[in-house]
Structure 1
């Protein structure tokens, strides 16, 4: 297969499972140049204003969303029968209207502030209607029907709340005019916190990822993972886990990560003997997990920091141990599956050497180290950190010819950064309508009380309902808007029951992320199945099995927040890490059904119970869990030594 055929195949796969990839390929050169100028211009504006602000909050968010809206209508066709190689006249009008909404906010900002959301005039109302309709239509084109329909239902709820059938959620109701003006004129609707974070942190870190990618960082991660783990037992699967973890943390798109990295790793896994459903599941699990892995966490950590009003470093530190435990669980199952099947790695003669990889592209690690230093060891803002990290990346990439970017490469990176931000920005704008209605009507507080009442005030049942809501809302939705919705609707219920806000946010965030793996709408797993040739549903369930730790650890850190290092010093944190890691190793063996030899169903249950005891912090539970693990290990070791006597190893 030629490189062009492979790229076409990857694009078709992305279009099938990622609506953001269904954009036009513009043939008229002037139209393509126009889009490039608009996208690159937005990236330069965002980069400049991160260090040297030009506007107040409301106008800045309006400019961000206005240009994004214009890009959506220029790049995404209205329907399947619409032209995909040129911009239609009606889309050009919609694009100009999107820009006009931003121009109106910037031009009459003082008047908008003075009138607020209640003293609006006729012109305000016209632009309010236009902005809300444009956001819903642009959201439909980019992310599909789900979120826009939900937002429309919330708008109907705001207007007809008096007739709502459930008394607990009924309210006095608002006119269409008041509701739409509220969405546009203030900072609680489409220009709320979600689009605010998109207009600042998220955009810049997506741009950072685009520049890193253009410099060859993706190839570096693949080569380094291949050099480190390629020759080990089941090496290609471990390469998939490591490279996808690195890339997933930076780019934040599980489906895109699956397609780009999986095109390389999945065929290698199949080649050495992994079954195709399992190979796809490994790539999907590793790609999704990158969004909970510091330092970048797919940019979601920044909106969490903004929402909670706590330093980003606190969130990244809290996320570190659960993320490492998750990847340790995946690696454990990958290794044990290879051991059980007798799979080998890639011959050393066919993989690069670590020294050569580091020599060629190792300098690209410097921007990541600089980012970590700025985030954790300085008191500068995240925006200032992002600004200087991007400049450092450009400077470092120029140190070697193989990573140096030409002017064309730089323009491409600026354009790609803006294009990659479109999906998140539109999802955030649509979510702004949902969150705005929740704030206007008090729906969020009523729902939180309803969840508590439904769970009868029991924390465990409330956690189950919050998990179900997070997975349901996260199906087919980007992780950031899924987090914003669930944290608005479900997290307050957990906080009301005594769960710390950071812990509650992390809980719903985890399950919103893992909706990408959970059938029936497991987009990351389905994309991986498209590459492996496996069954989408079987790949999804295999990914759930591989991600067992990701589904259990959130419950653990709710009941024992030391796992998030919230109330633990470094010494205690190290002890927690060791015991939790041992528990995850046991959990991986229990899920896989293999340790030194196949495990009987009873031993799998025993080992699984012991793993939970070790993951749960506490001296007594740690001793009990360790006792279980050591006992099972010695039992299998003894039975294996006596296998020549004809004794079954699975006993």
Structure 2
């Protein structure tokens, strides 16, 4: 193995994660402060579990306390001194004051709950001050944890709410008083405490906590070992391991970058060792890790928001996302296979694979995932499913201890409570800031204005409207997490798509997809940059390769908007089976055309025919399926019958 191909140490993984994933870049405390953070974070998790188990806390109390805990931890773990070269008296005072204020605005609702209900719409001066402080704290917290883009957007919407009369054309409106803006943003369930933060408090936190507990069982490494066992010996084995492992990792991780670092530190060195190019190795991991967010049953935080926005059950969202997600990973898998065949890359040997018996002994580690899936399928609530999943991970951990596998120790239960709370901070900051955006939209009617403006700009045509939405989603996603990106685009752009006759599920899924692929789309492409940091390749080139591998994510959203049957909308079982079959064949054609290889290298005319034929098969319809299938069958015959002839010619030339 060459010197530039090595497995990352835990310290290197942390450094890489901190560099490309703002939400993981915590300040490292020691001594008393370290234990204070641990106790506070664990207390936060226990509060959320209590609220889920007993469900007797009204939203007007649950959500502010959720926000108060989150903001307090954010200002402790992302202190001012972290962002300045040298700490001074001002930063010391600020870092002492901000967590206290954060707790204060959160628990102000608890202390004044009855009085706030009584004086609704007639708030006093103290209410105004506390509300204003809450808004400022949320904006600054989003800047520290999430990034500049969402902070700028939230501030823009606040400015619009106040100075709407200065805006041109269809955006103009009379503007609102400071009192009205503050009261709406913090004392109603339509602003900061609105649907996004409510979903965070009720569902997202618990699933992140489930992921933290599951990680303590050692399931992350087990996913890698299981993927090695299933795909390691195949042609181009390590790359297929990366695809399979990242799909599994995505079921418990809501972050593309975190998925890249944890899974990629294992798979990328393997790919490099067997001869994969640096950029291709990084691109495979980046594309696969990004797709983890669209892979049911967990699908990242945005899917919970989608369920709430559309008014569907979470399981219905997961079912609708299943076929597109499988197509996405199928596309990457096929491209990896063709690349390996084209370049002659082998799979792993038996000596390079983990012990089969040892892997099978630990199948019980997958029990929590089956518990979650089974409960969601049976119609149980997301809350009940998450709590049951957490309980099942503890049971699995105990089983592991009894069997002597030692994946999870008793102290890990306590630290899982801490990790789950820390994992939620980015989501809390993003959903609270997005609440400002949603609150402004509901207060000013801006959403309808934007939708009408978007339709007018695109000439009332669906494809141009979709294209503009795609571009805006990718641009927003370059500096915002998927959660915030989805909230913004679904609030502003999705109504325009729905007005043009597209089902709400397809419109929201469209914005969701393009918010995700921003993680691999240059010039920012954080997941690709993180992967290039492991592989040692060029970041932009890695992002370009990842975009090519993830081409399905750029095609499929257009297809399911034009043909919602791909999301299992208004279709039968037989139609669904046919749609899935033709779509898989279509991905084969697209992948072969893009990679320039099938049974043998493809001529340019074969590539030109293969890609549109594949697209036609993905689009449900008798005419498109017939033409697409006919072209691919013809190409199959030509490729299959001429490959031996080309081999003979090649051998003759060598001689």
Q: TM-score range by the shorter chain?
A: over 0.9
Partner of 1:105: 109
Partner of 2:295: 293
Q: CA deviation at 1:115?
A: 2.7
Q: Contact 1:262–1:531 (CA<8 Å) still a contact in 2?
A: yes
Q: Contact 1:201–1:302 (CA<8 Å) still a contact in 2?
A: yes
Partner of 1:619: 622
Residue 190 of structure 2 corresponds to residue 188 of structure 1: yes
Alpha carbon RMSD of aligned pairs, Å? 1.9
Closer/same/farther in 2, CA of residues 82 and 75 from structure 1, 3 Å limit? farther
Residue 481 of structure 2 corresponds to residue 494 of structure 1: no
State how far apart, in whole Å, the 1-side matches of 2:528 and 2:14 are.
Answer: 17
Q: Contact 1:227–1:352 (CA<8 Å) still a contact in 2?
A: yes
Q: CA deviation at 1:407?
A: 3.0
State how far apart, in whole Å, the 2-side matches of 1:15 and 1:621 are.
Answer: 47
Residue 250 of structure 2 corresponds to residue 248 of structure 1: yes
Partner of 2:640: 637
Residue 41 of structure 2 corresponds to residue 39 of structure 1: yes
Q: CA deviation at 1:410?
A: 0.9
Q: Contact 1:476–1:522 (CA<8 Å) still a contact in 2?
A: no
Q: CA deviation at 1:355?
A: 3.7
Q: Contact 2:587–2:614 (CA<8 Å) still a contact in 1?
A: yes
Partner of 2:387: 387
Closer/same/farther in 2, CA of residues 497 and 220 from structure 1, 3 Å limit? same
State how far apart, in whole Å, the 2-side matches of 1:403 and 1:510 are.
Answer: 38
Partner of 1:308: 310
Q: 2:213 aligns with which of 211, 214, 234?
A: 211
Q: Contact 1:77–1:83 (CA<8 Å) still a contact in 2?
A: no
Residue 599 of structure 2 corresponds to residue 582 of structure 1: no
Partner of 1:93: 97
Partner of 2:372: 371
Per-residue CA distance 1:498-556 (angstroms, 9 max, x = gap): 00001100011000110111111111111111111111100001010000111101111
Query: Secondary structure of the equivalent of 1:594?
Result: coil
Query: Secondary structure of the equivalent of 1:132?
Result: helix
Matches within 5 A, 1:134-533: 134-164=137-167, 166-359=168-361, 361-378=362-379, 380-401=380-401, 402-403=405-406, 405-533=408-536
State how far apart, in whole Å, the 2-side matches of 1:450 and 1:536 are.
Answer: 36
Query: Secondary structure of the equivalent of 1:200?
Result: helix
State how far apart, in whole Å, the 2-side matches of 1:623 and 1:247 are.
Answer: 37
Gaps of 5+ in 2: none
Q: CA deviation at 1:103?
A: 1.4
Per-residue CA distance 1:583-606 (angstroms, 9 max, x = gap): 011111111111111112221110
Q: CA deviation at 1:114?
A: 2.8
Q: Contact 1:65–1:425 (CA<8 Å) still a contact in 2?
A: yes
State how far apart, in whole Å, the 1-side matches of 2:488 and 2:24 are.
Answer: 24
Query: Secondary structure of the equivalent of 2:214?
Result: helix
State how far apart, in whole Å, the 1-side matches of 2:233 and 2:432 are.
Answer: 46
Q: CA deviation at 1:647?
A: 8.8
Gaps of 5+ in 1: none
Q: CA deviation at 1:480?
A: 1.1
Query: Secondary structure of the equivalent of 1:187?
Result: coil
Corresponding residue pairs, total: 643
Q: Contact 2:596–2:603 (CA<8 Å) still a contact in 1?
A: yes
Query: Secondary structure of the equivalent of 1:520?
Result: coil
Q: CA deviation at 1:354?
A: 3.8
State how far apart, in whole Å, the 2-side matches of 1:112 and 1:83 are.
Answer: 42
State how far apart, in whole Å, the 2-side matches of 1:605 and 1:153 are.
Answer: 45
Q: Contact 1:35–1:71 (CA<8 Å) still a contact in 2?
A: yes
Q: 1:115 aligns with which of 116, 119, 133?
A: 119
State how far apart, in whole Å, the 1-side matches of 2:523 and 2:572 are.
Answer: 41
Q: Contact 2:400–2:408 (CA<8 Å) still a contact in 1?
A: no
Query: Secondary structure of the equivalent of 1:30?
Result: helix
Q: Contact 2:216–2:416 (CA<8 Å) still a contact in 1?
A: yes
Closer/same/farther in 2, CA of residues 7 and 171 from structure 1, 3 Å limit? same
Partner of 1:68: 70
Matches within 5 A, 1:16-31: 16-27=19-30, 29-31=31-33
Closer/same/farther in 2, CA of residues 353 and 587 from structure 1, 3 Å limit? farther
Moved more, 220-229 or 48-57: 48-57
Closer/same/farther in 2, CA of residues 82 and 426 from structure 1, 3 Å limit? farther
Q: Contact 1:292–1:323 (CA<8 Å) still a contact in 2?
A: yes
Closer/same/farther in 2, CA of residues 281 and 124 from structure 1, 3 Å limit? same
Q: TM-score, normalised by structure 1?
A: 0.96
Per-residue CA distance 1:95-136 (angstroms, 9 max, x = gap): 0111111111111112222333x3211011010111011111
Closer/same/farther in 2, CA of residues 291 and 4 from structure 1, 3 Å limit? closer
Q: TM-score, normalised by structure 2?
A: 0.95
State how far apart, in whole Å, the 2-side matches of 1:403 and 1:630 are.
Answer: 53
Q: Contact 2:6–2:269 (CA<8 Å) still a contact in 1?
A: no
